[in-house]
A = this chain, B = another copy of it.
Amino acid sequence: MKWTWVLVVVLLSFGSISLGKDSLDFPEYDGKDRVHDLNAKNYKSVMKKYDIMVVYYHDHPGSSRAAQRQFEIEELALELAAQVLDEFDDEDIGVGLIDAKHDKAVAKKLGLDESDSIFVFTEDEVIEYDGELAADTLVEFIYDVREDIISQLIFILLSELKGFKNIEEDIKLVGYFKSHKSEHFEAFADAAEEFHPHILFYATFNPKVAKALDLKLNEVDFYEPFMDEPVVVPGKPYSEEELVKFIEDHDRPTLRKLQPHNMYEIWEDDVDGEHIIAFAEESDPDGFEFLEILKQVAEDNTDNPDLSIVWIDPDDFPLLLPHWEKTFGIDLSHPQIGVVEADDADSVWLDMDDGEDLPSADELEDWLEDVLLLCKINVMLYTECAVHHMDVFYDDEL
Residues of chain A touching chain B, judged by Cβ–Cβ distance below 8 Å, are 1-13, 19-24, 26-32, 64-70, 72-73, 76, 80, 84-85, 87-88, 132-133, 135-137, 139-140, 143, 147, 154, 156-157, 159-164, 166-167, 169, 202, 263-264, 267-268, 282-289, 292, 315, 317-324, 326-330, 333, 340, 342-351, 357-359, 363, 367, 388, 390-391, 394-398
Contacts and interface: CB of A to CB of B under 8 A. Distances in A.
Given A13-B323, A24-B263, A26-B320, A289 B3 contact: no
A11 B363 contact: no
Nearest to A160: B285
Given A5-B391, A154-B285, A394-B5, A26 B267 contact: no
A390 B7 contact: yes
A29 B70 contact: yes
A13 B327 contact: yes
A391 B324 CA distance: 55
27 contacts: A1-B357, A1-B363, A3-B397, A4-B397, A5-B390, A6-B351, A10-B327, A10-B344, A10-B347, A22-B345, A23-B328, A23-B345, A23-B347, A24-B263, A24-B267, A28-B66, A29-B73, A32-B66, A87-B322, A139-B321, A154-B284, A159-B289, A159-B358, A160-B288, A160-B289, A166-B283, A167-B283
Given A160-B286, A319-B135, A8 B346 contact: yes
Given A5-B351, A5-B391, A285 B28 contact: no
Nearest to A154: B285
B363 A3 contact: yes
Contacts of A285: 154, 156-157, 160-164, 167, 202
Contacts of A30: 66
